[in-house]
Structure 1
Amino acid sequence: MSVATPTVDELEDLLLACRYGDLEDVQQFVDRFGPDPLNDARDERGNTVLHMVAGNGHIETLEYLLRHVPPALLSARNDARSTALHWAALNSHLAVAQALVKLPGGPGADLIDAKNEAGRTPLGEAENVGWEDGAKWFVEVMKLEENQKGEELQVAEDAEDAEKIEVEIQDAEGQIAKMTIGQRPAGESSIPPSAP
């Protein structure tokens, strides 16, 4: 039994359903045409189904799509070289960003390092729009290599700042991004217990 091939109009309807988070329409599309056309659907700017749901924060539709598309689609770039994660960051959608990065078998934290045409990573987009929660989460899950050029870890030394760790990351343009992570609840020691 062969599966029907969607028309251009049906692919456009699919992209609109993803843009508006219409899970039922997306499911009906997959039921009719199978999951393969999900991989190739693009709008006039090269945006995929994942760009559409990620940019608009439709987590339920995203979770459905992630079960039906290959993990490589997470790395797909639009005409501006942005991934779906760039769009999630640009629009401050934390649950969506986490689902994209945490997908088993997907690119994982490597997505955070992808630069778009403007030279910004998803972390850079988050910082650019002032999305502190997202930027903090990106920094926490990034693959930071010790002594990597442009990155420096500073540990606070006085009691007042002992609850914070500041990370400085220098991007390709030489701009420094500072992020405070690892705040501990009041009363919890920042000094690890000594080994027996």
Structure 2
Amino acid sequence: MAAPNDEEKEDLLLACRYGDLQDVQQFVAQFGAEGLASIQDDNANTVLHMACGNGHLDILQYLLPIVPSSLISAQNTSKSTPLHWAALNAHLEIVQALVKFEGGPGIDLIDIKNTAGRTPLGEAELAGWDEGAAWLVRMMNLDAGDGENKEGEDSEAGGAEDIAAQDIEVEIQDADGKIARMTIGGNQSS
């Protein structure tokens, strides 16, 4: 198999950015999946950065099983991961797919900080994306002690319904030392 030239690599990154699944599949058919992890733009953005930042779930679902799982936590020159980009741009299905991908870093992705000192959760909050921030908080290891719950799990003390009915208060310190407080309500009624 011939190696792709720089123009073909750039075309692949653009296909991931603009959501052209057929071009991505054609690239893999022509050059194989082995080199996908090494293809980056000048800012070290990978195929996953491009697909995740622009909300292309079909491309992400195609790429995840064929790229090394280490690419999920790959950081660009600003130390942002694909999850940072998905959170910044409010792409919930992308965020969920990255965190839940079996064999990937899982919830550890939520703790990775970029050069601005922000985690993906911090990026979601900065963007005012409450739904994504709330989902990320529910997935985090908050050291809740006995009966700790994650989405869809039951505890010995009464099940996910009991936890879901409680408010969760979170304090997060940004890179400038400012504290952001957020309450995620379990009993949200309209």
Q: Same fold (TM over 0.5)?
A: yes
CA contact (8 A) 1:55 1:87 kept: yes
Q: Deviations over 1:4-24 (max 9, x none)?
A: 211111100000000001000
Query: Residue type of the partner of 2:28?
Result: V
- 2:186 maps to 1:183: yes
CA contact (8 A) 1:140 1:181 kept: no
Alignment of 1:83-102 (within 5 A): 83-102=81-100
Taking the aligned partners of 1:67 and 1:121, their CA distance within structure 2 comes to 25
Which one of the candidate residues 134, 137, 141 is aligned to 1:136?
Answer: 134
Structure 1 residues 124 and 166, CA gap change in structure 2 (3 angstroms): same
Which one of the candidate residues 46, 49, 66 is aligned to 1:48?
Answer: 46
Taking the aligned partners of 1:98 and 1:60, their CA distance within structure 2 comes to 13
Moved more, 166-175 or 121-130: 166-175
- 2:8 maps to 1:4: no
State the partner residue of 1:72: 70
Taking the aligned partners of 2:6 and 2:172, their CA distance within structure 1 comes to 43
Deviation at 1:106?
A: 0.5
Which one of the candidate residues 15, 18, 22 is aligned to 1:17?
Answer: 15
Deviation at 1:177?
A: 2.9
Unaligned runs of 5+ residues in structure 2 are 146-164
SS in 2 for 1:177: strand
- 2:121 maps to 1:123: yes
Unaligned runs of 5+ residues in structure 1 are 148-161, 187-196
Deviation at 1:85?
A: 0.4
Taking the aligned partners of 2:108 and 2:67, their CA distance within structure 1 comes to 18
Taking the aligned partners of 1:49 and 1:43, their CA distance within structure 2 comes to 9
Query: Residue type of the partner of 1:165?
Result: I
SS in 2 for 1:180: strand
SS in 2 for 1:31: helix
Query: Residue type of the partner of 2:49?
Result: H
Please give the TM-score of this superposition, normalised by the length of structure 1: 0.81
Taking the aligned partners of 1:122 and 1:29, their CA distance within structure 2 comes to 30
* Count of aligned positions: 170
Please give the TM-score of this superposition, normalised by the length of structure 2: 0.83
* Aligned residues: CA RMSD: 1.8
Query: Residue type of the partner of 2:177?
Result: G
Taking the aligned partners of 1:171 and 1:141, their CA distance within structure 2 comes to 20
Deviation at 1:185?
A: 6.3
SS in 2 for 1:88: helix
SS in 1 for 2:181: strand
Deviation at 1:173?
A: 4.8
Which one of the candidate residues 164, 168, 181 is aligned to 1:165?
Answer: 168
State the partner residue of 1:109: 107
